[in-house]
Amino acid sequence: EQNDGLCQKLTESCANQKPQQPWEKDAWEISRDTLKLDRRLGAGQFGEVWMATYNKHTKVAVKTMKPGTMSLEAFMAEANLMKTLQHDKLVKLHAVVTKEEPIYIITEFMEKGSLLDFLKTPEGNRVQLPKLIDFSAQTAEDGAYIYTHTHTHRGLMCLYLICTCLYCSLSSVVPSSVIFNTNHWVLTGAKFPIKWTAPEAINYGSFTIKSDMWSFGILLMEIVTYGRTPYPGMSNPDVIRALERDYRMPRTESCPEELYDIMLKCWKKKPEDRPTFEYMQSVLEDFYTATESQYQQQP
């Protein structure tokens, strides 16, 4: 109504102003018609992930549920849990499509895709050890945050990590109960990755913060080997039998002994002997500082 120091009195709002997104209004449900699936980014045991465009202008990631792999209740439990978890290193949930199948979970889009894929690229292969340890420390920080909210992640696999601008974020939190199948563990109908699973979870279905710490140790090996699949050359039954004999993945040439010792702490036979995520974050941050200074001193 008054210039109040402006050169000209304001008239009307800008016609090209970006429209408000539904997730900015805390309205999670959106119409499927507002999404255009552009390119499939990958597929896992639970479903597919697509790069998509929302309302013709916003790039997002869309996670779809693969029919027959997870119950609708479990899939929606993941979305509901993501609504409650807000952290700068956790991928943010934007919206859901739940009125009819296929169900969609819409999250922020991460430019470099999964950490597993990134580490296998020429760019990822040039990442030096200090940054790999930094990835690991950030993941431990994510784990510590999740456990302050009393949730287990049950999927600390490199495949479920996202990397953008050399910055890591956990991409999904998989809740729900576990039942046994003759070939694999099942999360209310979803296949569970044996090679990342702690022995007590394989044998007794005991998923705790300590079983996730075992998975974190597997993840450390994945990161330091630039995305190599754990237990190379071994099938799931081979891994189960080996773990019964207290077998542990051996150290690779690319893995410093100090980092391997950290992995072995994660793989202690007794769950109560494994460290906490807060401890791992502290140890890895110190290790990162030490290795970074060593690399900076090299000619």
Which CATH class, in words, describes the domain spanning 22-108?
Answer: alpha beta
40, 35, 68: which is closest to 189 by C-alpha? 68
Domain ranges of the chain: 22-108, 115-292
243 phi-psi bin (left φ>0, alpha ψ -120 to 50, beta other): alpha
Check residue 159 and give its pLDDT.
Answer: 41
What is the structure's pLDDT at 265?
97
Give the pLDDT confidence score for residue 154 in this predicted structure. 52
Binding residues: 63
Q: How many C-beta atoms lie closer than 10 Å to residue 30's C-beta? A: 21
CATH superfamily of 115-292: Transferase(Phosphotransferase) domain 1 (1.10.510.10)
Q: Which tens digit of pLDDT belongs to each residue from 67-121?
A: 666 666 766 666 676 676 666 666 778 888 888 778 888 888 877 777 777 888 8
Q: Which residues are annotated as a binding site for ATP?
A: 63
Which of the residues in the chain have pLDDT under 50?
25, 156-167, 170-190, 299
Please state the pTM of the whole predicted model. Answer: 0.71
Q: What angle do CA 228, 230, 236 make, to 5 degrees?
A: 135
pLDDT at 268: 97
> Does this chain's domain 22-108 share its CATH topology with 115-292?
no
